């Protein structure tokens, strides 16, 4: 089956784009991020004048790579588990939400009994 002129033109365009990216050393790097990252990145883009998320990610990567090795290591250090603290406010919020959930779904309570 013969391609239409439009299909041939599109294929040639994609080939030229791929060749140009290869000459510039550009590759795709898909990443998975936690939920909410996209909206936070969009907010940061607006605040700092970026129009494309790709440009922001590239600038972040280049900025990180330009740091001295020690600074990269410091920023990549993950906090200890002890760094996560359940504050009394967080605990109160949890208890309040749990009580509200139990009121809206009666019968879901867990009743612990001790058999002797």
Report the pLDDT averaged over residues 4-16.
Answer: 91
Q: What is the pTM of this model?
A: 0.47
State yes or no: pLDDT of 22 exceeds 60: yes
**Domain definitions of the chain by residue range:** 33-103
pLDDT in tens, 78-92: 766 666 678 899 899
Distance of alpha carbon 60 from alpha carbon 92, whole angstroms: 37
pLDDT at 67: 95
CB 70 within 8 A of CB 82: no
Query: Rounded CA gap, 72 and 44, in Å?
Result: 22
Of 79 and 62, which is predicted with more confidence? 62
pLDDT attached to residue 50: 93
Residue 15's pLDDT band (boundaries 50, 70, 90)? very high
DSSP letter (8 states) at residue 81: G
* Segment 30-54, tens digit of pLDDT: 888 888 888 898 999 999 999 988 8
Residue-level pLDDT at 28: 83
Q: Is the pLDDT of residue 55 over 70?
A: yes
Distances (CA, A) of 59 to 56, 65, 73, 105: 5, 10, 19, 48
Question: Which of residues 93 and 105 earns the better pLDDT score?
Answer: 93
Q: What does the pLDDT read at residue 85?
A: 76
């Amino acid at each position: 089956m013969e391609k239409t002129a439009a299909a041939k033109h599109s294929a040639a365009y994609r080939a030229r784009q791929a060749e140009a990216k290869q000459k510039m050393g550009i590759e795709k790097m898909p990443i998975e991020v936690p939920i909410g990252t996209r909206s936070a990145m969009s907010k940061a883009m607006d605040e700092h004048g970026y129009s494309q998320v790709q440009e922001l990610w590239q600038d972040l990567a280049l900025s990180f790579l330009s740091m001295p090795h020690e600074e990269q290591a410091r920023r990549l250090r993950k906090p200890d588990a002890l760094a996560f603290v359940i504050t009394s406010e967080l605990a109160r919020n949890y208890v309040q939400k749990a009580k509200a959930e139990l009121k809206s779904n009666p019968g879901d309570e867990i009743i612990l009994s001790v058999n002797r």
